[in-house]
A = this chain, B = another copy of it.
Amino acid sequence: MKTRISKAMATRLIETGIALTSINNLDELLEFIVHEARGLTKADAGSLYIVNGSNLDFLVCQNDTLTRKVGADAERGLFTVYSIPVSKQSLAGYAALTGEALNFPDVYNLPPDAPFSFNKEFDRRNGYRTMSMLNVPMKAPDGAIVGVLQLINSLDHNGEIMPFEDDMVAVVQALASQAAVAVKNAKLTAALMDAHLDTIFRLAVAAEYRDQDTARHIQRISEYTKIIAKSMGLPGRDVILIGHASPMHDVGKLGVPDSILLKPGKLTPEERVEMEKHTVFGGKILAGSESEILRLSESIALTHHEKWDGSGYPYGIKGGSIPIAGRIVAIADVFDALSSPRCYKPAFPMDKVLAILEHDTGIHFDPDVSKVFFGNLDEIQEIHRRMKESG
């Protein structure tokens, strides 16, 4: 099989393998795989199915003819995500089940004894004619089938549909193997990232366990801070980071005794001092991590009670000396506390909440952050409504 790959194809596959491997985003990777496979085989269209338990999820569909006809945006609308079983009844299912490649010059004329049939539904709906088709399983080095690469309508120099050349099967198989490993790796990375984010969220939820605050409060803070950060023009990466880091702003409350944390009335000056230590405790719990998210959450825990005029705690720093993330969480946290019910107070009416925030702009809050907050008030209030405490 391997000897059927030409030297030019082989050197191109080396490049492709390197390119594949450097894409970490799964969606981007899947699109790239189909794009490369179509380039190698001059295929008018191509799809990608990923094995999900005993099903194949249809995830990528590229079709030059339809794109020309209806435009790229409209074309994307033609395809819906769907699943088919891994079984001998479909071409892709057969390839996934048996690990064999299937190459047919015209899928409207399949061998009469073939166990699979071609579903003409898509063609009928979109006025397309699928003719030649190559289905290649994506096989990882351990033999596991990760998905199926489906190439449609190989085109000759005149743009006429021709069968996929037999020599190309080995080339696409090699590409599909490279793709299989790349997909496995991208999934592994995504799962690890999910596990990391999940644990961070639990750390935040655990901290709120002793308080009247709820998991909802944490989620709202995450949403509010992302809106503000994005609208302030922070880079996309920083917007995502603050969304993950801001829920941990009160993690240091774990270090505050119940007698103070849960006291119904006003705190004495001595108790206030103890309560305010939650910022420093939070900083300690989160200190010194290699994780970017935890490093940002350390900074937020330490600075979300600082005030623009320098009258905040724990350090009394002011203005631009307060990290931007701390300034953003400050207004989001106060807005959420005032507008939500607590066991010791009802939710304030919205006009009163906004009047307080407005009054404290330039005193407690950074005027620029405050401006952006009010500029996005509709979206922020929508989140407030949508993610209310379940009464």
Where the two chains meet, the residues of A that have a C-beta atom closer than 8 Å to any C-beta of B are 2-3, 5-7, 10-11, 13-14, 17-19, 21-22, 24, 140-142, 174, 177-178, 181-182, 184-185, 188-189, 191-196, 198-200, 202-203, 205-207, 209-210, 251, 254-255, 257-259, 281, 285-286, 289-291, 293-294
Contact = CB atoms under 8 A, between A and B. Distances in A.
Contacts of A194: 290-291
Given A10-B11, A22-B181, A285 B198 contact: no
Given A11-B10, A21-B178, A189 B192 contact: yes
A209 B281 contact: yes
Contacts of A257: 258
The A interface is mostly helix, strand or loop, or mixed, namely helix
Contacts of A192: 189, 192-193, 196
A390 B40 CA distance: 65
A18 B209 contact: no
Contacts of A209: 254-255, 281, 285
Contacts of A5: 7, 10-11, 14
Given A199-B294, A254-B254, A258-B258, 16 more contacts: A5-B7, A7-B10, A10-B13, A17-B178, A18-B178, A21-B181, A24-B185, A185-B189, A188-B189, A198-B290, A199-B289, A202-B203, A202-B286, A206-B251, A209-B281, A258-B259
A209 B209 CA distance: 14
Contact of A210 (B18, B177, B255): B255
Contacts of A203: 199, 202-203, 206
Contact of A199 (B11, B177, B199): B199
From A7, A177, A188, A290, residue with most partner B Cβ within 10 Å: A7
10 contacts: A7-B7, A7-B10, A10-B13, A18-B141, A192-B192, A198-B290, A199-B289, A203-B203, A206-B206, A206-B207
Contact of A202 (B2, B11, B177, B285): B285
Contact of A294 (B17, B182, B198, B210): B198
From A11, A209, A258, residue with most partner B Cβ within 10 Å: A11
Contacts of A2: 11
B210 A22 contact: no
Contacts of A182: 21
A199 B207 CA distance: 14
B24 A188 contact: yes
Given A185-B21, A206-B207, A285-B206, A198 B254 contact: no
A63 B202 CA distance: 49
Nearest to A1: B11
A85 to B, nearest CB: 24
Given A17-B18, A21-B181, A189 B191 contact: no
